[in-house]
Amino acid sequence: MRGIVSEANNSEAFSEAKMSDVAVIGGGINGCALAYELAKKGVNATVFEKGYLGSGATGRCGGGIRQQFDTEDNIRLVMESVKIFEKMEKELGYDIEYDQGGYLVLAHSDEEKERFKKNVELQRSMGLGVNFLEKEEIKELCPILDVDGAKAVGATFCQTDGHANPFRVTEAYAKNAERLGAEIKTFTEVKGIKKEKRFEIITEKEKMFADVVVNAAGCYSKQIAEMVGVKLPNKPYRHEILATESLKPVLKPMIISFMDGIYFCQHKTGQIVGGIGNPDEPSGINTESSFWFLEKMASTITRYIPSFKNLNVLRQWAGMYDVTPDARPILGKTNVKNFFVVCGFSGHGFMVAPVTAKLMSELIVDGKTSMPIDNLSIERFKKGVIRKEGAVVG
Amino acid sequence: MRISEHPILSFDRGKKITFLFNGKKISAYENETVASALTAAGINVLSRSIKYNRPRGFFCGIGKCSSCLMTVDGVPNVKTCVTPVKDGMVVESQDGKGNLPENKEFKSKKETLHADVAVVGAGPAGLSAAITASKHGADVLLIDENPVAGGQLIKQTHKFFGSKEHKAGVRGIEIAKLLLNEIENSNVNLLLNAGVIGYYKDNSHMLAVVQNSKLIKVYPKKIIVATGASENMLAFPGNDLPGVVGAGGVQTLMNVYGIRPGNSVLMVGAGNVGLIVSYQLMQAGINVKMVVEALPKIGGYIVHAAKLRRLGVPILTSHTVKNAYGNGRVEGARIVKLENWKETGEGFDVDVDLICLAVGLTPTCEILFQAGCETKYIPELGGWVARHDRNLETSIKGIYVAGDCSGIEEASTAMMEGRIAGMDAAEKLGFKIDEKEKKDAFENLKTLRSGPFGEKPRIGKEKMWGRK
Ligand SMILES: Cc1cc2nc3c(=O)[nH]c(=O)nc-3n(C[C@H](O)[C@H](O)[C@H](O)COP(=O)(O)OP(=O)(O)OC[C@H]3O[C@@H](n4cnc5c(N)ncnc54)[C@H](O)[C@@H]3O)c2cc1C
Ligand SMILES: Cc1cc2nc3c(=O)[nH]c(=O)nc-3n(C[C@H](O)[C@H](O)[C@H](O)COP(=O)(O)OP(=O)(O)OC[C@H]3O[C@@H](n4cnc5c(N)ncnc54)[C@H](O)[C@@H]3O)c2cc1C
Ligand code: FES
């Protein structure tokens, strides 16, 4: 069914105001990818972005793509996403600096080891090529890593994990969306939304009417939802990250430890990019860089890879995680008709964006999705019993 | 290619040493930097670029452009223009991205320092600020990433203009000596080879400083940022060839290290910097083929231009460099004639081994921007600057600017601004200051900006303060 969109298009009101089928709020990876997927289905989307494209969490993220989660929803989402990433350069005609160097998830205790073994079982049962590695095998796979310094006792490794450049992916989606007819308005902040027959989107520059609104505003999605009276349980948390000078390739896989809260990789540009979570970080929007982070990151990463002591940090910055109570995203409908949410991605909204965009475009245009996403609907929080994703940092 | 005789300068090079460059023994002196020693040995290609593997040489000579990155004792990405050369050092040109040393010991140290006032940058502005704040009783820490204090001033061999009280008739290097002398006789704590890598809020202001392998956390009550400026690049094909250098960089090589950077020079830009450096090049025995200036008139003082003309150096206005050519280093340049900023079709080639750019400076404001100071774009001041009041305080309480990083001017105004910032910081810390001294400093600054060459910064500052 070209349902929602075509149905609403028939009414003739608001003729002098600008019209769009779908208004997408937020020009991060999720908003841009969704505009593209909608455009592919012949639906006009207008993306509203208050800054530049990628100015939210997207342009500040590490670009990591990891399928090794411990809840089925997350594993399945990223596995589907990887299929899209693998063909993305061809489909979108952009070099996205995609690198499937694999992802090494370190275990630091017997307890963690056991848990990881169970994860591997689950992941393998879903068709993921993942292995458990003993200490010696880690050394073989990643000789530059000081396994003892990192206090690792085992690890899981998946070769098809990797990373890509978030700016390039966002731009690739945005440019292709525009090519197919979407409109992207940067430096245009949505100040309010009125719900009458249609949605009226209020910006400083103009008013605009849309049949469908999608909230992809990252850490501001709570505020956007409030504009139409929808309550979201999300909380914003700062997360910091840094990049070093470029080096010749020295680090193939991306490395993560949930115990230390650290993750890092070497990008195709040669830079080492990584972050570390601060368990004491208070909730709130704050993109200032802290010295605590710089010191903590430096002392931890050089324990993992001692030769990094000779490396200079080029820059550090911070971005916002949009965190839900179970660290899993919120996707789908809300109790306001035709107001959809795509948010709450914590530290992994980049990697799942290609697939969430596809699914959301299906939901909006066809009314149903090719993969179940009911578990990720906002309704789950009302039921009370939620299963928290454990394989996350920060 | 070391200068043996100089009409004004003598060089204290220190002991003779040897180091290895790509496996070859090179002799040098202990008071030289790695890059200056290599230039003296006739080596121009220091590394190759990351993306297209193009040869890279020295450009700014003051640690600001990253054009001189090399691998030193196994450590990649070392800024060799501010790294002192040492006996037995192993220097390798870096082929694009660097490699890490495998089994190198690295002992890092940490330290915490407190101060009433931390001054970043020990050029004329920073030196004056530190001296003034200290004189009024403040406990001052002065930090500079170069191995020598003095900023751009320590290489200015020409006599300054203006009135007597502004040290007119005195050479820049002499003024620098006076200031450094005052610092030595003061309680100022001077940290050299120490780069400020960031500003943080840690309850109060905090500066992170890296000195060799030591990380120093500095907690000052007030910060005066006097980081100077970086030299502008000009866009033309071949502008990255080794041998295309900043005028300030050339001045450093010649006048600080006594090294001849080339044999025949094309100077681009006929402002004061271009004219003065051309004259200094002639003094060092280097042939300046010509000065080209895109504007229809000479921008600098006529006296400086006349000195050059007397030596037979042509100054071509309405001319610019179209491209540089050469195999791995500058061998010449194409000069074209302009009319209303358009090429007329006339042009010629000039054979030179050095193209010296004197096309303006851009304030070095990273620390201020990172701290979150309000910014404003003011072309007359050199671009983006941190908005500041007449006392040089920025929109963030307790953070000051002074000198070129507050807007491009000259050494005399830099010193005056430093003095004002130092006094205001001291006063706000509760130290008693002499009202007359402050008033005099303001008067001085006004006088310095009153001439025709003070017009640009005067307009710029007024734009900032919101007057027409
Ligand atoms: C430091 C850090 C590292 C990370 N590392 C990874 C990683 O390695 N892998 C991974 O998958 N994920 C990572 N993430 C998470 C990932 O960045 C996010 O989940 C993802 O980018 C979210 O994309 P988005 O498009 O939903 O939101 P955003 O990119 O935040 O985009 C939302 C946009 O909405 C705009 N907006 C908000 N309000 C309005 C308004 N009123 N009007 C108009 N526009 C508005 C914002 O300006 C913003 O650009 C990381 C995040 C951070 C902060
Ligand atoms: C080639 C040339 C010729 C000139 N000729 C004249 C002239 O004839 N007469 C005249 O009046 N003016 C002249 N000037 C201008 C004058 O030199 C400058 O205006 C003056 O030096 C500015 O002083 P300053 O203290 O602001 O900055 P600078 O002298 O540039 O000093 C800044 C200092 O800050 C340090 N620094 C920067 N960043 C950091 C950091 N993060 N951490 C630690 N240290 C840092 C630098 O190493 C440097 O030592 C000339 C300039 C140039 C480039
Ligand atoms: S940083 Fe060394 S030449 Fe510019």
Q: How confident is the model at residue A385 (pLDDT cuts 50, 70, 90)?
A: low
Q: Say what the pLDDT of residue A10 is.
A: 42
Query: CB A155: neighbour CB atoms within 10 A?
Result: 30
For A172-216, give the DSSP string.
HHHHHHHHTT-EEE-S--EEEEEESSSEEEEESS-EEEEEEEEE-
Of A122-126, B148-152, B219-223, the one with minimum mean pLDDT is: B148-152
**Per-residue model confidence as pLDDT tens digits over A269-320:** 899 999 999 999 999 999 999 999 999 999 999 999 999 998 999 999 999 9
**Per-residue model confidence as pLDDT tens digits over B234-248:** 999 999 999 999 999
B205 close to ligand 2 (CB < 6 Angstrom): no
Q: Say what the pLDDT of residue B151 is.
A: 92
Q: How far is CA A225 from CA A23, A192, A220, B197, B366, in A?
A: 14, 10, 9, 40, 37
Which residues touch A243 (CB under 8 Å, ≥6 apart)?
A267, A271, A272, A273, A313, A314, A315, A316
- 8-state DSSP, B233: P
| SS3 of residue B74 by DSSP | coil
| A300 interfacial to chain B (CB closer than 8 Å) | no
Cα separation of A158 and A254, whole Å?
10
Please choose, from the candidates B3, B176, B22, the residue with its C-alpha nearest in 3D space to the C-alpha of residue B92: B22
Give the DSSP H or E segment for A226.
helix A221-227
Nearest ligand by distance to the CA of A191? 1
| A106 interfacial to chain B (CB closer than 8 Å) | no
If one residue of B32, B56, B62 were mutated to test the ligand 3 pocket, choosing by the most ligand atoms within 8 A of its CB, it would be B62
| A111 interfacial to chain B (CB closer than 8 Å) | no
- Ligand 2 centroid – CA A212 distance (Å): 58
Q: Do A280 and A290 form a contact (C-beta atoms < 8 A)?
A: no
- Ligand 1 centroid – CA A28 distance (Å): 6
Protein residue with least CA distance to atom 33, ligand 2: B121
B365 close to ligand 2 (CB < 6 Angstrom): no
Q: Do B373 and B399 form a contact (C-beta atoms < 8 A)?
A: yes
Q: Looking at CA atoms only, how far is residue B50 from chain A in angstroms?
A: 9
Q: Which of A247, A290, A295 is closest, CB to CB, to B99?
A: A247
Q: Please report the number of interchain residue pairs, chain A to chain B, with beta-carbon separation below 8 angstroms.
A: 56
Give the DSSP H or E segment for B157.
none
Q: Say what the pLDDT of residue A3 is.
A: 39
Give the DSSP H or E segment for B229.
strand B229-231
Residue B326 has pLDDT above 60, yes or no: yes
Q: How far is CA B245 from CA B232, B250, B356, in A?
A: 10, 7, 5
Q: Looking at CA atoms only, how far is residue B198 from chain A in angstroms?
A: 9
Q: Do A25 and A227 form a contact (C-beta atoms < 8 A)?
A: no
- What is the CB-side half-sphere exposure of residue B294 using CA atoms within 13 A? 13
Cα separation of A217 and A223, whole Å?
9
Domains, chain B, ordered by start? 16-92 (3.10.20.440), 110-230+363-464 (3.50.50.60), 244-357 (3.50.50.60)
Q: Say what the pLDDT of residue A394 is.
A: 62
Average pLDDT estimate for B11-21: 93
Nearest ligand by distance to the CA of B382? 2
Of A70-74, A145-149, A229-233, A386-390, the one with minimum mean pLDDT is: A386-390
Nearest ligand by distance to the CA of A103? 1
Please choose, from the candidates B298, B294, B289, B290, the residue with its C-alpha nearest in 3D space to the C-alpha of residue B319: B294
Cα separation of B154 and B254, whole Å?
11
% of chain A surpassing 70 pLDDT: 94
**Per-residue model confidence as pLDDT tens digits over B328-387:** 999 999 999 999 889 999 999 999 999 999 999 999 999 999 999 999 999 999 999 999
* Average pLDDT over all residues of chain B: 92
Q: How confident is the model at residue B162 (pLDDT cuts 50, 70, 90)?
A: low
Protein residue with least CA distance to atom 21, ligand 2: B152
Query: How is residue B152 written in tokens?
Result: 């751009």
- 8-state DSSP, A338: T
Q: Which of A307, A308, A316 is closest, CB to CB, to B102?
A: A307
Q: Which of B100, B202, B206 is closest, CB to CB, to A250?
A: B100
Cα separation of A214 and A201, whole Å?
11
Residue A4 has pLDDT above 70, yes or no: no
% of chain B surpassing 90 pLDDT: 78
Q: Looking at CA atoms only, how far is residue A307 from chain B in angstroms?
A: 6
Q: Say what the pLDDT of residue A9 is.
A: 43
Please choose, from the candidates B342, B336, B293, the residue with its C-alpha nearest in 3D space to the C-alpha of residue B317: B293
Q: Residue A262's beta-bridge partner residues?
A: A257, A276
Q: Say what the pLDDT of residue B331 is.
A: 97
Q: How confident is the model at residue B138 (pLDDT cuts 50, 70, 90)?
A: very high
- The number of residues in chain A equals 394
- 8-state DSSP, A352: H
Please choose, from the candidates A207, A210, A158, the residue with its C-alpha nearest in 3D space to the C-alpha of residue A182: A210
Residue B452 has pLDDT above 90, yes or no: no
Q: Looking at CA atoms only, how far is residue A267 from chain B in angstroms?
A: 13
Give the distance, in angstroms, between the CA of residue B115 and the centroid of all CA atoms in the same chain.
26
Q: Say what the pLDDT of residue A202 is.
A: 95
Q: Do B277 and B268 form a contact (C-beta atoms < 8 A)?
A: no
Chain A positions touching B201 (Cβ under 8 A) are 288
* Locus of tokens 């040109």: B93
Chain B positions touching A316 (Cβ under 8 A) are 198
- What is the CB-side half-sphere exposure of residue A149 using CA atoms within 13 A? 15
Integer-rounded Cα radius of gyration of chain B: 22
Give the dihedral sign, CA B25/B29/B35/B40.
negative
Chain B positions touching A306 (Cβ under 8 A) are 106
| A289 interfacial to chain B (CB closer than 8 Å) | yes
Q: Looking at CA atoms only, how far is residue A281 from chain B in angstroms?
A: 14
Residue B468 has pLDDT above 60, yes or no: no
Cα separation of A12 and B239, whole Å?
60
Domains, chain A, ordered by start? 18-59+167-233+326-383 (3.50.50.60), 101-160+235-323 (3.30.9.10)
In the stretch 206-245 of chain A, residues with CB closer than 8 A to chain B read 245
Query: How is residue B201 written in tokens?
Result: 């809020």
Q: How far is CA A213 from CA A338, B99, B454, in A?
A: 6, 50, 56
Query: CB B345: neighbour CB atoms within 10 A?
Result: 8
Q: Do B378 and B201 form a contact (C-beta atoms < 8 A)?
A: no
Cα separation of A333 and A342, whole Å?
9
Greatest mean pLDDT among B299-303, B368-372, B462-466 lies in B368-372
State whether B198 and A288 contact (CB < 8 Å).
no
Amino acid at A173: Y
Instruction: List pocket residues of ligand 1, CB cut-off 6 Å.
Output: A 25-31, 48-51, 55-58, 60-64, 189-190, 216-218, 220, 224, 239, 241, 275, 319-321, 345, 347-351
Query: CB A97: neighbour CB atoms within 10 A?
Result: 17
Residue A6 has pLDDT above 60, yes or no: no
For B367-391, give the DSSP string.
HHHHHT--EEEEGGGTEEEE-B-TT
Protein residue with least CA distance to atom 1, ligand 3: B63
Chain A positions touching B200 (Cβ under 8 A) are 289-291
Q: Residue B91's beta-bridge partner residues?
A: B21, B72
Cα separation of B392 and B62, whole Å?
25
Q: Indicate which atom in ligand 2 lies nearest the CA of residue B277.
A: 1
Q: How confident is the model at residue A388 (pLDDT cuts 50, 70, 90)?
A: confident
Q: How confident is the model at residue B147 (pLDDT cuts 50, 70, 90)?
A: confident
Q: Say what the pLDDT of residue A209 is.
A: 93
Query: How is residue A50 written in tokens?
Result: 């208050």
Best to test chain A binding among B53, B71, B73, B77 (most A CBs inside 10 Å): B77
Interstrand relation of A313-323 and B332-339 (parallel, antiparallel or unpaired): unpaired
**Per-residue model confidence as pLDDT tens digits over A319-377:** 999 999 988 899 999 999 999 999 999 899 999 999 999 999 999 999 999 999 988 99
Q: What percent of chain A is helix, strand and coil (3-state, nearest 5)?
A: 35, 25, 40
Cα separation of B440 and B454, whole Å?
18
**Per-residue model confidence as pLDDT tens digits over B421-441:** 999 999 999 999 988 999 999
Give the dihedral sign, CA B383/B386/B387/B390.
negative
Residue A14 has pLDDT above 80, yes or no: no
Chain B positions touching A310 (Cβ under 8 A) are 74-76, 100-101, 104, 106
Q: Indicate which atom in ligand 2 lies nearest the CA of residue B127.
A: 25
Protein residue with least CA distance to atom 49, ligand 2: B151
Query: How is residue B236 written in tokens?
Result: 């033309």
The residue of chain A with its CA nearest to that of B372 is A288
* Average pLDDT over all residues of chain A: 92
Average pLDDT estimate for B150-174: 75
**Per-residue model confidence as pLDDT tens digits over A179-220:** 999 999 999 999 999 998 899 999 988 889 999 999 999 999
Phi-psi region of B306 (alpha: psi -120 to 50; beta: other; left: phi over 0): alpha
Chain B residues whose C-beta is within 8 A of a chain A C-beta are 50, 74-77, 96-102, 104, 106, 108, 197-198, 200-202, 206, 208, 215, 217, 370, 372
The residue of chain B with its CA nearest to that of A249 is B99
Q: Say what the pLDDT of residue A18 is.
A: 65
Query: CB B468: neighbour CB atoms within 10 A?
Result: 5
Q: Say what the pLDDT of residue A123 is.
A: 96
